[in-house]
Chains A and B, each alone.
Chain A
């Protein structure tokens, strides 16, 4: 007992002395654990809720026949219903209906209650006040979440946008068992109200007991129109999960970075504490504490820090997850699981994993210092002036270059399961390699610095040259922090610059309008298109039809855009990257695909591909790849004339207007609104507004990276401060000596500031270099493999220069302030100490 208490006091005491750094290490570990756990928790809830929603929406269905957004011919329904293995077939029309006059949409399902009652009973109002309301074309039932969201109840009117007009429904009741934000109406009512006559979105199939579902599925798949799939209802869950996977992985990597930083902080804190307690620890050894016990004690400290930090992190993570869900929704703001209302559960496995990770990081951080302390010979350590030893373990290691090379090589590897695993590994290796190279770099750098005339600065240079090992810790943290910050800054700047260029390319017209601002119920009939073209001041209008295609069952659908493109010169309409092919006469007609489609589906220029259009598989030549920052899941562009010929679909969704000479954009805009019937439902914007709005959205999305950059800066400076604190402690007697020989306090301050700046400069230089390389990996590997977007490198010189100046100044100040305590000591006492 008593021994334990003494040990506790001996080990915990020093920890408490450096409580600032202790708290920071704790915070970094907690942050990493919290971020990771919150992401895990939110996603787990999202998947759970999504699964439940899918289960309620599909009910007891064994199979689902699903079409693209445009749906498929309803005549498939009786064919499916008559199959001998099918017990019940339940047809569904689904519309993401825009609420009239609002920028939001509500998912509306059109059902046949007689069929749904047998397959999806949760979606049928059995207790409706008037049972006929389940059949009336204008009656709609809301899920509890939708009712709450819309503040609507029985008897209220709900108006949706349909085309450029409106469709009104009367709320007939609330469906207690319905999941998420969703509404239900009779299938005939939805078909008529949203211009989906003759079309179905899907048919849910319940198979007779004992029938071979797999065999039926295979047989069905062969007989369905192109673009219509048969799958198990839970395939939608997989697609939903795959939508958010890249976001989740990237957030988890951020969590790992936070953990890594936490480990680094533990390392610097422990290293400092051990330097400080060198004599103290040696005394313990001479008093009979074995080397093993000493190491165990020090590791115990780390364990405590890790456990405390990780425990705290789990709590914060849970709170964070709740806040995220409340503010941004379960999809972390990515808009993927809209309308799903999650209940956060406690995820035991996730909690365990992140707890262990947090503790492990803390242990790893303190392992080297603890082993070093255990290795020290007690007699030598008891003497003063031995403090430099710990850092000598970290002197030049050649493998640094090999590690960097391995990282560079790894970045060339393809993604693993669609994730840039090797990209992240490469970043880690480049960082570690750079740090490993620091001792050699330090010797070379300080050797190159010219000896300045001023005594204080001369002393600073001499000090660094003579004992470069002392600055290793500061250098390591600065390099890590700077390279992370610089790489992120370059990547974000490149992305933003490329986005700006892209926006200029894709916005050549004078005005843009769209019906697809929310939901998919808005569109322009040929009469609407003609009315728009007739508006005075409009010289030319180009209409775009947006549909979607499901190209693979386990991937979300890609967007299909039908618009005017000149096959001879597609670059005039699209921001083409790479080569363009003009299909020869007789070859399948061209389509131009965005980068994700090229990457994920292998649609490279020259390849002939089949696309399901109008219920048939049509052959096309991939004629080029273009950059589309607007749609993450990928886009296929086809000439609109060809699309109309193949599908008969003459409707459009969006368009661009070129003004006649002298026409005023504002006046034309007003005329579009007031002169076209239903024009008030058009979202109209000038290219400048779209550009500004897009860039604002970009900045908002990447705001989190600015916060991370700030965090990196703080971490770098904390490391610097820790290591200077250790140095100053070690050099107390030196300062006393210098005061005795006549140096002023100010001069000693200048000396330390110079040391800080020199160390900062070296760290900055290496950090900039490593950061530049890492930014290349981020741009060309991580981003490309996660989101399949390319971008041009753009180095933000001015912000980087400002950052360099700030860091140098901060390094000098940090060194100075860390030394303050030491310099406050009376010179005489400092010299007397131990002499």
Chain B
């Protein structure tokens, strides 16, 4: 799923408003053939698109830390006939966060720009996105992210160790009961991370495991949705698990989905009824009074994993910029009482229903 809350409303500009079906955006349909590296690049005709990297970092003299780097593209479908080079045909956003248990809360920053002048661009040929001085680029060895943020700086490389994992039905991922409520979605789990993370003057070499999602769509989110839970785990045995559920008014799921790729490469895609999120522990934010189920038991078919946060306070209060509050953090996974992997959990719509 990965419609991350940050992306739900960056500057509130990304909100896809309910529009007639024939709204000028290409539809998302089953059976599309994916073509790489072309499909690593941007699909500017679609309404929204994101490249989302989350993962765990290990470094000398530092405890394990979580990180998140997101680049987001939006086509607002305004001013498309405007001949100005400034015409906001494509908007680009980027967000990054560092989850350091020593800080006890997230450090994060963002960039936003209209595409143009080479200052902010999302190339169509391959993954190559830049928003001012932040960039995410795919090369022969994998991806490279350069994120000089206010409180930290990432200079990270992500090398694939496994092939691309197409989510849903061959990359066609449904988000709701209607066929149109869908996206094109693939993941790159088990990325090998190397590079530096600087906080202040000292840059430290790090390694780790990450997960990249690339997803694009023109879809209208189901009107009954108030939020969603999403989890993506790099399993210790080399497998990968993604699961999400859409929550309705009463907090109940009305749609869900997920996939498990076993260490041997066999992929199992789950039907909505096979995915369950069971809260194990809640944490109440002292700043916003919002309560999040930060520990969960996630059931996907006959698999059950328990996820527990790296630390509780991984809340993002971005009311000033994006108008919402959500929780997105690094989590450890256990299965049958034993460590089973690590990844990221996203919890949205616990503050207020996400307005889309």
Residues of chain A having any CB pair with chain B under 8 Å: 74-75, 77-78, 81-82, 91, 112-115, 117, 131-132, 135-137, 186-189, 191-192, 197-198
A77 to chain B, nearest CB (A): 6
CA distance A75 to B117 in the complex (A): 8
Most buried by A among B78, B82, B84, B118: B84
Report whether A132 and B84 are in contact in the complex, using a CB–CB cutoff of 8 Å: no
Report whether B82 and A78 are in contact in the complex, using a CB–CB cutoff of 8 Å: no
Report whether A192 and B76 are in contact in the complex, using a CB–CB cutoff of 8 Å: no
Residues of A close to B88: CB separation below 8 A: 135, 186, 188
Report whether A187 and B117 are in contact in the complex, using a CB–CB cutoff of 8 Å: no
B114 to chain A, nearest CB (A): 6
* Known contacts A78-B119, A135-B88; is-contact A189 B83 (Cβ 8 Å): no
Report whether B13 and A135 are in contact in the complex, using a CB–CB cutoff of 8 Å: yes
Excluding A77-B117, A132-B13, A137-B87, 17 further A-B contacts by CB distance (< 8 Å) are: A75-B117, A78-B119, A82-B119, A91-B86, A112-B114, A114-B112, A117-B112, A131-B11, A135-B13, A135-B79, A137-B78, A137-B79, A188-B84, A188-B85, A188-B88, A189-B82, A192-B87
CA distance A74 to B87 in the complex (A): 13
Say whether B290 faces chain A, with CB atoms less than 8 Å apart: no
Residues of A close to B11: CB separation below 8 A: 113-114, 117, 131
* Known contacts A132-B76, A135-B13; is-contact A191 B119 (Cβ 8 Å): no
* Known contacts A112-B114, A187-B86; is-contact A135 B76 (Cβ 8 Å): yes
Say whether B12 faces chain A, with CB atoms less than 8 Å apart: yes
Say whether B45 faces chain A, with CB atoms less than 8 Å apart: no
Q: Is the interface of B mostly helix, strand, loop or mixed?
A: loop
Tell me the nearest residue of chain B to A82, going by C-beta.
Answer: B119
Residues of A close to B29: CB separation below 8 A: none
Report whether A186 and B83 are in contact in the complex, using a CB–CB cutoff of 8 Å: no
Residues of B close to A91: CB separation below 8 A: 86
Say whether B304 faces chain A, with CB atoms less than 8 Å apart: no
Q: Which of A82, A186, A198 is within 8 Å of B79, CB to CB? A: A186
Q: Chain B 11-25, CB within 8 Å of chain A: the 1/0 string?
A: 111010000000000
Residues of A close to B84: CB separation below 8 A: 187-189, 191-192, 197
Q: Chain B 85-98, CB within 8 Å of chain A: the 1/0 string?
A: 11110010000000
Residues of A close to B13: CB separation below 8 A: 131-132, 135
CA distance A188 to B115 in the complex (A): 12
Question: Which 9 A-B pairs have CB atoms at the shortest separation, nearest pair first?
Answer: A188-B84, A131-B12, A188-B86, A78-B117, A188-B87, A191-B84, A135-B88, A137-B79, A187-B86
Report whether A135 and B83 are in contact in the complex, using a CB–CB cutoff of 8 Å: no
CA distance A131 to B11 in the complex (A): 7
CA distance A115 to B118 in the complex (A): 15
Report whether A112 and B86 are in contact in the complex, using a CB–CB cutoff of 8 Å: yes
Q: Which of B79, B91, B112 is within 8 Å of A188, CB to CB? A: B79
Say whether B113 faces chain A, with CB atoms less than 8 Å apart: yes
Residues of A close to B86: CB separation below 8 A: 74, 91, 112, 186-188, 191
A567 to chain B, nearest CB (A): 39
Report whether B114 and A114 are in contact in the complex, using a CB–CB cutoff of 8 Å: yes
A47 to chain B, nearest CB (A): 33
Q: Chain B 131-163, CB within 8 Å of chain A: the 1/0 string?
A: 010000000000000000000000000000000
CA distance A188 to B86 in the complex (A): 5
Tell me the nearest residue of chain A to B79, going by C-beta.
Answer: A137
Residues of A close to B83: CB separation below 8 A: 192, 197
A54 to chain B, nearest CB (A): 24
CA distance A81 to B119 in the complex (A): 8
Residues of A close to B113: CB separation below 8 A: 114-115
CA distance A82 to B133 in the complex (A): 9
Report whether B12 and A136 are in contact in the complex, using a CB–CB cutoff of 8 Å: no
CA distance A114 to B120 in the complex (A): 11
Residues of B close to A112: CB separation below 8 A: 86, 114
A140 to chain B, nearest CB (A): 14
Residues of A close to B91: CB separation below 8 A: 135
Residues of B close to A197: CB separation below 8 A: 83-85
Report whether B76 and A188 are in contact in the complex, using a CB–CB cutoff of 8 Å: no
Residues of B close to A82: CB separation below 8 A: 119
Tell me the nearest residue of chain A to B113, going by C-beta.
Answer: A114
B298 to chain A, nearest CB (A): 34
Residues of A close to B119: CB separation below 8 A: 78, 81-82
Tell me the nearest residue of chain A to B9, going by C-beta.
Answer: A131
CA distance A91 to B113 in the complex (A): 12
CA distance A131 to B15 in the complex (A): 9
CA distance A314 to B246 in the complex (A): 72
A479 to chain B, nearest CB (A): 68
A285 to chain B, nearest CB (A): 81
CA distance A115 to B112 in the complex (A): 8
B104 to chain A, nearest CB (A): 26
13 A-B pairs, CB-CB below 8 angstroms?
A: A78-B118, A117-B112, A132-B13, A135-B114, A136-B79, A137-B82, A186-B86, A187-B84, A187-B86, A188-B82, A189-B79, A192-B87, A197-B83
Q: Chain B 173-213, CB within 8 Å of chain A: the 1/0 string?
A: 00000000000000000000000000000000000000000
Residues of B close to A186: CB separation below 8 A: 79, 86, 88
Q: Which of A75, A77, A192 is within 8 Å of B82, CB to CB? A: A192
Tell me the nearest residue of chain A to B93, going by C-beta.
Answer: A114
Tell me the nearest residue of chain A to B12, going by C-beta.
Answer: A131
CA distance A807 to B317 in the complex (A): 82
CA distance A574 to B76 in the complex (A): 54
Tell me the nearest residue of chain A to B132, going by C-beta.
Answer: A81
Report whether B78 and A136 are in contact in the complex, using a CB–CB cutoff of 8 Å: yes
Residues of B close to A117: CB separation below 8 A: 11, 112
CA distance A187 to B82 in the complex (A): 11
Tell me the nearest residue of chain A to B13, going by C-beta.
Answer: A131
B254 to chain A, nearest CB (A): 28
CA distance A115 to B114 in the complex (A): 9
Q: Which of B78, B82, B85 is within 8 Å of A132, CB to CB? A: B78
Tell me the nearest residue of chain A to B87, going by C-beta.
Answer: A188
Residues of A close to B85: CB separation below 8 A: 74, 188, 197-198
Residues of B close to A136: CB separation below 8 A: 78-79
